[in-house]
Each structure stands twice: as C-alpha cells, then as structure tokens.
Amino acid sequence: MSALQHPASDAVVTARDLRVWYAGPKGPVRAVDGVTFEVRKGEILGLVGESGCGKSTLGRGLLGLLPEGAARDGSLVVGGRDVLSMSAKEARRLRGGELGMIFQEPLTRLNPLMRVSDHFAETLKVHEPRLPRKEIERRSLEALRVVGIPPTRFRAYPHEFSGGMRQRIMIALTLVVRPAFVVADEPTTALDVLVEAQIIRNLHTLRAEFDTAMLLITHNLGIVAEACDRVAVMYAGRIVEIGDAREVFRNPQHSYTRELLRSTISLETDGLHYIDGAPPDLVAPPPGCRFHPRCPDAMVVCAQRTPADKVLAGGSRVACWAAEERAGVSGLGPHESAPLEREEIGVADEA
C-alpha cells in the first residue's frame, strides 16, 4: 500500500481498547488502560491531563516507540494496517515515512558538522530516494517555512542557531517527509510564547496543505483551544472525555475535565485552584471511576462501578456517572446516586 493510502473512513489511526504497560517491581504499571478513539485525516487532536496520566505513553504506544519491557495489546490500526501484529521491520518502515514523532527533547540531535540543508537531504533521501535535488530543496524550504526559519539560513550549521531554533529545525525534519500522522509530545514547552503561537498557526497550514493528522500532547489548554479540532482528556490511563474542542471547553461533561479546566482558568482570574490530591498509582488504581477519591461530585456508585463511555449532549463521549445523571440516562437508584460520604473516600491523598 502506498504511503498515503488510507482506509475508506477518514480515520488515520484507530485504537480499540488499547493498553500499554511497563514492567514494574510492584507489578505492571498500566499507563494506558483500555483507550478507544481515532485520529482523523487532517485533524489535530489535543491530548490533555495531569502529569503521569499516560499521555506520553499513549503517544509512544501509537508509534511503537516504547522502551524495553513495555507491552501493548488491544487493537491498533494505522493507515488501514493492524500494527500490533506487524513485524519489527514493517513497523520500522512505517515509522520512517507515514508516522512521525516530535519530542520535547529530541532523541536524535543535529549533527554539528552537517549543514541544515544536508540534514534535510539525508532525511528525504532515506524516505524518497529518487527525489531530484531541486525538489529536495523546495520541500526543505517549505518545511522550514512552516516552523518560521527563513530560507537564508538553509545552509547554516546547527551551532549558528539558538536552542529554540534548533528545536524548530527538528520539527521541520519530521514534517518534511509529509507523514500521514504525527505525535507531537509537548513540542512547544521550550519555546517562547510568540514562537509557540507561530508554530501552532503553521501547523494549521501544514494540515491544510498535506492532510497530516496530529496528536498534540500539551499541558497548555490555551493551545488546545486555539489549535485543536477535538480534545481527549486523559485520567489515570483512560480517556474520560473526548469531543469537539470548543464544545468540551464550553461545556465540559466529565467532572475531571471541569476541574482541570478550572485549575487552569483560575490562574488568571480568582487565584489558584488545584484539584485536591494527585493522580493514582497505576499499579493499583482505585476501583470504579478512578477519579472518585478526588471528585467533588462523587456518588456511591462511583466507588463501585466503572462508568461506561456514553455519547451525551453536544456529541462528546464521556465516562462519568454524574454526567449520565444530568442527562437523565444513568438508571441509578437512590442509594447508588447518594453522595459518596467523606469517610468512604478512604485513602487521604497527599496534595
């Protein structure tokens, strides 16, 4: 199949009940614990959640870039192919072209002895060996333009650039092969705000021109609001809410989403608001809804039964008993929907 052929639907990546875990001394660390979602052609899907919720593990798991001792199961289809049953060689080939990853800390560094132009030529030659020289230059300059590096710097050496510029060059090197799907894991945290805004604008151009689908992992909810089509909210290894980014921001359904938004928004308005406690240990997470020990809306049922994924008003998919109650579809009896008593909250998390 050619690099850009996609299945009939517009999904570039489809994960069904995907799990990723690491071997740990106390048992497996279930960092991604049964997530189902897709990334559509040309869309930017934001992935948010507190530190340690499994965002990077999910991003790396989608690309098969996991450390020794990590394992995946469930179903993962990329570009129409089942990647979990692929040989290591096939998976490497897929990563060389159709899939790309932008890291906050790039794993590969620019070679100080090579001009930027040579880095591009080398990258493109691996992927498209027959590309004429003129075309290599045209494609490279186009990728540099996306990250805001002027063409006059094309033949400079890495040490002639600032750290932030070198990072943008790394981003351009990922984009120059026009991958069908890119995971960007906090690509902009090391950049200043203006450059960040510029890159985000340019990512839009990229998407419009090449139909690149992107999973954008970030702590910056402002970026999600500005740059993403949809957003997935992750908590303790699971996607708890996913939907149209503007809709989720305007009308969060899951209590965790609401608290997460509140903790950011109030930075600018009425002082600091933290969600009490911390995300759970992923070796032995709490039963029922994993957020229940910290949730201000927790009901008796929340500590007992895991809420199912449901598509609720506004089109978002949510796994939250309180959201179901509000929508009148929970079917809970009065005992189950009673507020969870404080003492039942149990383990006192350290804030």
What does the binding site for ligand ATP look like in residue numbers (CB under 6 A)? 22, 24, 29, 31, 49, 51-57, 67, 282
Q: Which is nearer to Mg ion, 237 or 288 (CB)?
A: 237
Which of ligand SF4, Mg ion, ligand ATP, none binds 187 (CB below 5-8 Å, type-dependent)?
Answer: none
Part of the chain binding ligand SF4 (CB under 6 A), chosen from 80-88, 220-228, 270-278, 319-327: 319-327
User: How many other CB atoms are found less than 10 A from the CB of residue 333?
Assistant: 10
In whole angstroms, what is the distance from residue 247 CA to residue 252 CA? 7
In whole angstroms, what is the distance from residue 100 CA to residue 346 CA? 43
- Which of 76, 91, 297, 316 is the binder for ligand SF4 (CB under 6 A)? 297
Is residue 302 a contact point for ligand SF4 (CB under 6 A)?
yes
Instruction: State the minimum distance, in angstroms, from the CB of residue 70 to ligand ATP.
Output: 7
- Which of 228, 298, 300, 312 is the binder for ligand SF4 (CB under 6 A)? 298
DSSP letter for 126, please. Answer: H
Instruction: State the minimum distance, in angstroms, from the CB of residue 256 to ligand SF4.
Output: 5
Please give the full DSSP string across 228-249, using - where no structure is assigned. -SEEEEEETTEEEEEEEHHHHH
Which of ligand ATP, ligand SF4, Mg ion, none binds 232 (CB below 5-8 Å, type-dependent)?
Answer: none
Burial 54-83 (b: 16+ CB within 10 A, else e): bbbbbbbbbbbbbeeebebebebbbbebeb
Nearest to 262 by CA among 293, 296, 236: 296
Q: Which is nearer to ligand ATP, 141 or 236 (CB)?
A: 236
| Contact yes or no for 82/162 (Cβ under 8 A) | no
| Contact yes or no for 115/157 (Cβ under 8 A) | yes
Is residue 228 a contact point for ligand SF4 (CB under 6 A)?
no
In whole angstroms, what is the distance from residue 350 CA to residue 125 CA? 52
Instruction: State the minimum distance, in angstroms, from the CB of residue 247 to ligand ATP.
Output: 23
In whole angstroms, what is the distance from residue 212 CA to residue 226 CA? 17
- Which of 29, 37, 47, 56 is the binder for Mg ion (CB under 5 A)? 56
CA distance readout (Å), 177 to 101, 171, 326: 12, 11, 47
Instruction: State the minimum distance, in angstroms, from the CB of residue 278 to ligand ATP.
Output: 11
The helix, strand and coil proportions of the chain, stated in percent and rounded to the nearest 5, come to: 40, 20, 40
Which of Mg ion, ligand SF4, ligand ATP, none binds 57 (CB below 5-8 Å, type-dependent)?
Answer: ligand ATP
In whole angstroms, what is the distance from residue 23 CA to residue 305 CA? 27
Q: Which is nearer to ligand SF4, 292 or 317 (CB)?
A: 292
- Which of 144, 291, 312, 330 is the binder for ligand SF4 (CB under 6 A)? 291
Instruction: State the minimum distance, in angstroms, from the CB of residue 216 to ligand ATP.
Output: 13
Part of the chain binding ligand SF4 (CB under 6 A), chosen from 172-180, 225-233, 252-260, 271-279: 252-260
Which of ligand SF4, ligand ATP, Mg ion, none binds 67 (CB below 5-8 Å, type-dependent)?
Answer: ligand ATP
Q: Strands 44-48 and 29-40: what pairing? A: unpaired
Q: Which is nearer to ligand ATP, 178 or 254 (CB)?
A: 254
Residue partners of 120: CB distance under 8 A and separation at least 6: 136, 139, 140, 143, 172, 173, 176
Nearest to 149 by CA among 192, 198, 114, 187: 198
- What is the contact mask toward ligand SF4 in residues 255 to 284, using x (rule: CB under 6 A)? xx----------------------------
Is residue 295 a contact point for ligand SF4 (CB under 6 A)?
yes
Instruction: Write out the residues near Mg ion by the rule CB under 5 A.
Output: 56
Instruction: Write out the residues near ligand SF4 by the rule CB under 6 A.
Output: 254-256, 289, 291-292, 295, 297-299, 302, 307, 320-322
